[in-house]
Structure 1
Amino acid sequence: MKGVEFALLAIGAVAGAYLRYRIVESPVTSGNLPINVLIVNALGSFILGLFSVITTTFNLDQKYTLLVAVGFCGSFTTMSSFELETVNLIDNHAIGLAALEILANVGLSFIAVIAGRLLGYAILETMLR
């Protein structure tokens, strides 16, 4: 990995980690369901879906993938925190909430990727008119 590539990866990772920290530590609540990590994972999935359309359509240089997909989205989204929150809910005998946590994170993140891609295609269609 060359210096410029490493720098782009690092810049994306720092930005993603910082934004994740700010969102996870914010006082957003939804009853007993840990929603902050859900927000991070869904938003990161949306960004990655949108970015995938942009990169394939415009055949962007790999450096942009290092910056956005690997660096930013890689450090922004957080599977390990989602898993820990789910296990903590199970440990506290909140099996229903744990199931909801799993469905919400996986389902919403999946929908967010699709929404990001749809937005990307809509933007491209508008640009090409």
Structure 2
Amino acid sequence: MGLFSVLLIALNVNSQYSILVAVGFCGSFTTMSSFALETTNLLENKQLMLLTLNILANVGLSIGAVIGGRAIGNILMEKFIH
């Protein structure tokens, strides 16, 4: 977060957007780290059923959310642009 705050100031990015970029970018690392840690813990504890469910649920729901978001975005674009 500190690195981003310095870089964004140096690049003259508006403070409204610098917070959005810094929190969004760093937040994605936190989420991925949590997923990796939990998955590794399940593997080490030989909880293979939960490990598989964890991976499938996280990846599947993430992809589903992107597909759903894109569908909603396309509907809104059609409704308000055309």
TM score, norm. by length of structure 2: 0.71
Matches within 5 A, 1:27-66: none
Q: Using the alignment, how far apart are the partners of 2:80 and 2:66 within structure 1?
A: 21
1:121 and 2:82 matched: no
| 1:13-34 deviations in Å (ceiling 9; x for gaps) | xxxxxxxxxxxxxxxxxxxxxx
The answer to which structure has the higher helix fraction is 2
User: Offset at 1:128?
Assistant: 2.6
Q: CA RMSD in A?
A: 1.8
Q: Which has the higher contact order (CA 8 A, sep 6+)?
A: 1
Name stretches of at least 5 consecutive residues in structure 1 with no aligned partner. 13-66
Q: Relative to 1, partners in 2 of residues 1:100 and 1:79: Cα closer, same or farther, differing over 3 Å?
A: same
TM score, norm. by length of structure 1: 0.48
1:74 and 2:32 matched: no
1:110 and 2:55 matched: no
User: Offset at 1:126?
Assistant: 1.1
Name stretches of at least 5 consecutive residues in structure 2 with no aligned partner. 1-9
Q: Using the alignment, how far apart are the partners of 1:3 and 1:80 within structure 2?
A: 30
Q: Which runs of 4+ in 1 moved over 6 A?
A: none
Question: Hey, what does 1:42 align to over in structure 2?
Answer: none
| Bigger Rg, structure 1 or 2 | 2
